[in-house]
Copies of this chain bind each other. A is one copy, B any other.
Amino acid sequence: MLQSNLLIVAAAVSAVSALWPLPTQLSTGTTSLVLASDFDIDLSVISNPPQDLLDAVSRTKSYLQTDQLEALDVDRGASYAQSLQNASSLSSLSLSFDSGHSGDPTSISEEVADAIENRVEGYTLTVPEDGSAATIKANSTLGLFRGLTTFGQLWYDLNNTTYTVEAPIAITDSPVYPYRGFMLDTARNYFPVSDILRTLDAMSWVKMTTFHWHMVDSQSFPLEVPEFPELSAKGAYGSSLVYSTDDVQNIISYAAARGIDVLPEIDTPGHTAIIAEAYPEHVACPGATPWATYANEPPAGQLRFASADTTNFTASLISSVSSRFPGKYFSTGGDELNTECYAIDEPTQADLNATGNTLEQALDSFTQSVQSVLVDDGKTPVVWEEMVLNFNLTLSNETIVMVWISSADAAAVAEKGFRLVQAPSDYFYLDCGAGGWVGDSPSTNSWCDPFKTWQRAYTFDPVANMTDAQAKLVIGGEHLLWTEQSHASNLDPIVWPRAAASAELFWSGPGGNVSEALPRLHDVAFRMSQRGVGAIALQPLWCALRPGVCDISA
């Protein structure tokens, strides 16, 4: 009988709890607790705390003061006023390492640059009901950081009182999948650095680990590569629309300090037409028309991978770019290769004739050359699914494969023994459903209609139709934004809070219920708004303030 009551209380409480992603173990009570005006975060037991942890502590304290997030119920928390007057106040949060941890701590940034299987994100968090110190413990600096992020989601504001009504709180938490990402295409349209930094902040609030940066494509080359300065000088949309080496370093370090690894991508050998502006000798069928015969998007043009010179150029380019990223992973792309482009490209045909190679053999040589540069530099290559499903290529077993065309392809990738990231267009493509953008079509369709709702992403099964052995190869997933119809003006509303759905799915594990998740996702959106990220409204405010009442069954 008592147990049954506790379950009911827990259900009612969880309706106003703003934790996202949901911790894997969570217990809450019903005692009110307010944050003391002199509340502080105590790191005194940590010797030589790394600077990025100190910065994270400062940001956490700042958010606690500035979030001013009112409870999402009809009276915005006013009914708690009486209980808050008599509540204990919390003066401090103590951070410490687990007893097994020894030596000076590594920084968040260092831990993020490690191989994904080596990163430790788990933590425990306690908030006693009597006002004695809250605690976060972890076996890594990254774990402490994840705990700080959770701590920042525990609180609401009522007339400048920062409070919870759910003490005591006990959390033991760690992610189900290590890879939880967001991909941004900065080539179809350019995004100022400030937009990327704001996006990284929002990603960190929902504990994402990876910013998959699709930096360049056939339409523009906004990346400064010091060894190949003409690429951006001639291939960027404008001299001010370039990510300089300093910008890149700024993005990497900003991300790393927030627990996010940057996975850079130079898509090859397709999606490279713009390289012809600087290096026409390396691009097959540049500007061939009709473009739709030779490329999935205008303009046509792909690297002449059958050429030894182009192979060397590409390997040097990848090496140059990769050397500026501290992470272990680098994507060489490999999607949407159009073989018609090579059929009409005389230099490619001449190269094939001279070597006696088939197109696929030439692609294999090219890919091995490019990937070996990465492997020699200690990197793990990442490729799109066609590189393993459409071609018979020699790839390192360590290669990570991005499944994008369809969720139905994941099992086939796993069957080939590769680790994979779930990035299927039928669940996680944020651009779908906004209509076609090609110039002369009154059609209403985008190729990947319909719009992918947060609900659809949230109910994705990462291991559907997989054997246990195949399922073990899934390292996580990501939301993606291709930007044919996006730039700074709609970045926030097209991404947030929708992309938070995959962040929770891959942290907390699949099987979540959209009715249970919606009230918390409202909180995510409202908190993001308070912090300057333009998340959309998921429902009329009337519904947001009445969890469950706008369910169809209510």
Map CB proximity to B onto A505-535 as digits: 1 under 8 Å, 0 otherwise: 0000000001100100000000001000011
> Please, which residues of chain B bring their CB within 8 A of the CB of A298?
542-543, 549-550, 554
Map CB proximity to B onto A65-106 as digits: 1 under 8 Å, 0 otherwise: 000000000001000000000000000000000000000000
Within 8 A of B (CB), among A481-518: 483-490, 492-494, 514-515, 518
> Please, which residues of chain B bring their CB within 8 A of the CB of A456?
435, 442, 444
Query: Cβ of A347 < 8 Å from any Cβ of B?
Result: no
How near does chain B come to A183, taking the closest CB pair, in angstroms?
17
Query: Cβ of A538 < 8 Å from any Cβ of B?
Result: yes
**A541's contact among B220, B443, B490, B518, by CB below 8 Å, is which?**
B220
**Which residue of chain B has the shortest Cβ distance to A535 in the bound complex?**
B489
- Please tell me if the beta carbons of B450 and A219 are within 8 angstroms of each other in the complex: no
Query: Cβ of A189 < 8 Å from any Cβ of B?
Result: yes
Query: Cβ of A440 < 8 Å from any Cβ of B?
Result: yes
How near does chain B come to A493, taking the closest CB pair, in angstroms?
4
* Known contacts A440-B551, A444-B456, A455-B444, A489 near B534 by CB under 8 Å: yes
> Please, which residues of chain B bring their CB within 8 A of the CB of A518?
439-440
- Please tell me if the beta carbons of B459 and A435 are within 8 angstroms of each other in the complex: no
Query: Cβ of A350 < 8 Å from any Cβ of B?
Result: no
Query: Cβ of A540 < 8 Å from any Cβ of B?
Result: yes
- Please tell me if the beta carbons of B489 and A492 are within 8 angstroms of each other in the complex: yes
Map CB proximity to B onto A424-443 as digits: 1 under 8 Å, 0 otherwise: 00000000011111111111
- Please tell me if the beta carbons of B485 and A553 are within 8 angstroms of each other in the complex: no
- Please tell me if the beta carbons of A435 and B449 are within 8 angstroms of each other in the complex: no
Query: Cβ of A228 < 8 Å from any Cβ of B?
Result: no
* Known contacts A298-B554, A490-B534, A493-B490, A237 near B445 by CB under 8 Å: no
How near does chain B come to A446, taking the closest CB pair, in angstroms?
8
- Please tell me if the beta carbons of A541 and B189 are within 8 angstroms of each other in the complex: yes
Query: Cβ of A552 < 8 Å from any Cβ of B?
Result: yes
- Please tell me if the beta carbons of B439 and A551 are within 8 angstroms of each other in the complex: yes
How near does chain B come to A14, taking the closest CB pair, in angstroms?
15
Within 8 A of B (CB), among A461-498: 483-490, 492-494
**A487's contact among B190, B483, B486, B537, by CB below 8 Å, is which?**
B537
**Which residue of chain B has the shortest Cβ distance to A484 in the bound complex?**
B540
A451 to B494, CA, bound (A): 14
**A554's contact among B188, B290, B450, B493, by CB below 8 Å, is which?**
B290
Query: Cβ of A539 < 8 Å from any Cβ of B?
Result: yes
A438 to B549, CA, bound (A): 9
* Known contacts A298-B550, A493-B493, A542-B220, A537 near B442 by CB under 8 Å: no
18 A-B contact pairs sorted by A residue (CB < 8 Å): A189-B537, A220-B541, A291-B554, A292-B552, A298-B554, A299-B542, A435-B450, A435-B451, A436-B455, A440-B554, A441-B514, A441-B552, A444-B453, A484-B539, A485-B539, A489-B492, A489-B534, A490-B536
Q: Which 5 A-B residue pairs are closest in the complex by CB-CB distance?
A: A435-B453, A489-B534, A490-B493, A219-B542, A439-B551
